[in-house]
Amino acid sequence: MARVYLDHASLWPLRDEARQAWQDAVDLTVGDPARAHAEGRTSRDLLERATTTTAATLGGGPAGLVWTSGGTEAIHLAVLGPALAAERRGDRRRHVVVGAVEHSAVLRATERLAADHGYTLDVVGVDRSGTVDAERMMAAITGDTLSVHLQHANHEVGATQPTHEVAAACRDRGALLHVDACQSVGQMGVTLDQVGADLLTASCGKFGGPRGLGFLALGERARLAPLLEGDDRQRRRRAGGIDVAAVAAGAVALQAATDRLQSEHSHREVLRRRLRAALPEAVDGVEVHGPLADAHPGIVAATAQGVDGEALAAALDERGFAVHSGSSCASLPWEEASHVLVAMGVHTRGHVRFSVGPATRVSDVDDAVAAYRDAVTSLRHAYGR
Ligand SMILES: Cc1ncc(COP(=O)(O)O)c(C=O)c1O
């Protein structure tokens, strides 16, 4: 039986245009883009072109774009970079505000600010749909707040967050707003202005670009000190070599995603709503999470009473369906309930996340629902429930 891949929130298949761009660039980019020779200039031209088009898609200029090894590194630079720059200029602010359902990279980077730099953290909770209370978040921002961290779309339940409202409060109080848009760039058409971000982070593997590539886009107010030192590349914001062929492929992937944004979005939205409606109807004791409207178009989270999420994901895998279980990005997901579902105050056991992509068909979703019914029923039977 053909496999059905329903884990696009972890990684998308590489887009054809990105594969072609990588193949075209890989033999052209023998030279280090930091060198003055002809080979270096060829690489530099490609890098500059890719940086300019990517930055323009986000509504910024090439001087404000930093390529990284993925979303996680971009997030660390967005969280720790402004804090290091603030310390260097003698800025005494030591407070950050963070949403409770942020990705673990954001939560852990802010925890590092607390542990290593004496910051206090305010973690702002969410409602049952996974949406941060904007009023509470705005009330938490004080004159001592250096930065606020609020994602654009949640990676586990698809809730979108009120970044624009919070951005206004950040500006009023002189704090920076970092928006983790790893699940949105290339999928929901975000720009720096639209979400109100001073720092915006993205992961190219999540919109059909190369894995292990991400970026940080900076608005005019953001000041950063680098986390990696060693050379003056990327305007001294991130030292170290750059895989120019991957960057060229990432830029092309974002362009292709942007060109097809509307059609991919509406196709996925139809699938998401179909899956969301069908899962609780297929089996008793199943709940779906996250908001119905104004949500990420590709993500459906469901919990099934009386089963274990890891066992359920394994049972679906055996039946040909790739889904993710448990806490996104926990190294041993079965050991820890999803912090997102815990913060929402919903049932956490038996959690799996389905995430559809542009090539997912209606029949794939219907087959996944049938497999889900079969898997939940047989696991409950095996547990004697
Ligand atoms: C919302 C969000 N932020 C950050 C990341 C981390 O991105 P990367 O895997 O590129 O390090 C992910 C990946 O799952 C994510 O979903």
Examine residue 11 and state whether it is found in any structural domain, yes or no: no
Residue nearest to atom 8 of ligand 1 (CA): 71
The pLDDT value given to residue 86: 97
Instruction: Give pLDDT tens digits for 104-158.
Output: 999 999 999 999 999 999 999 999 999 999 999 999 999 999 999 999 999 999 9
Residues 244, 339 share a domain: no
Residues 335, 223 share a domain: no
Residues 309, 222 share a domain: no
Residues 311, 188 share a domain: no
Residue nearest to atom 14 of ligand 1 (CA): 10
Residue nearest to atom 7 of ligand 1 (CA): 71
Whether 186 contacts 254, CB under 8 Å: yes
Residues 72, 202 share a domain: yes
Examine residue 8 and state whether it is found in any structural domain, yes or no: no
Containing 71, the helix (H) or strand (E) segment is helix 71-88
The pLDDT value given to residue 332: 45
Of 259, 291, 317, which residue is a domain's last? Answer: 259
Give the range of the structural domain holding residue 193, as residue numbers without chain letter: 16-259
Helix, strand, or coil (residue 307): coil
Instruction: Give pLDDT tens digits for 258-287.
Output: 999 999 999 999 999 999 999 999 999 999
Beta-carbon contacts of 152 under 8 Å, excluding residues fewer than 6 positions away, are 160, 161, 163, 179, 180, 181, 183, 184, 188, 190, 195
The pLDDT value given to residue 383: 79
What stretches in the chain show pLDDT beneath 70?
326-336, 385
Ligand 1 atom nearest to CA at 10: 14
Ligand 1 atom nearest to CA at 154: 1
φ, ψ (nearest 5 deg) of residue 123 = -100, 120
The pLDDT value given to residue 337: 86
Residues 79, 23 share a domain: yes
Distance 321 CA to ligand 1 centre (A): 22
Structure token digits, residue 263: 């059609």
Residues 269, 227 share a domain: no
CATH number, residue 314? 3.90.1150.10
Which residues does ligand 1 sit against, CB inside 6 Å?
Answer: 70-72, 75, 103, 105, 151, 155, 180, 182-183, 203, 205, 214, 328-329
Of 231, 259, 287, which residue is a domain's last? Answer: 259
Examine residue 25 and state whether it is found in any structural domain, yes or no: yes
Residues 302, 164 share a domain: no
Distance 105 CA to ligand 1 centre (A): 7
Residues 184, 99 share a domain: yes
Of 259, 274, 309, which residue is a domain's last? Answer: 259
Ligand 1 atom nearest to CA at 72: 11
The set of long-range contacts for 137-140, using a CB threshold of 8 Å and a minimum separation of 24, is 137/97, 137/99, 137/162, 137/166, 137/169, 138/165, 138/166, 138/169, 140/97
The pLDDT value given to residue 384: 77
The pLDDT value given to residue 330: 47
The pLDDT value given to residue 327: 56
Helix, strand, or coil (residue 128): coil
Residue nearest to atom 15 of ligand 1 (CA): 182
pTM, rounded to two decimals: 0.96
Examine residue 3 and state whether it is found in any structural domain, yes or no: no
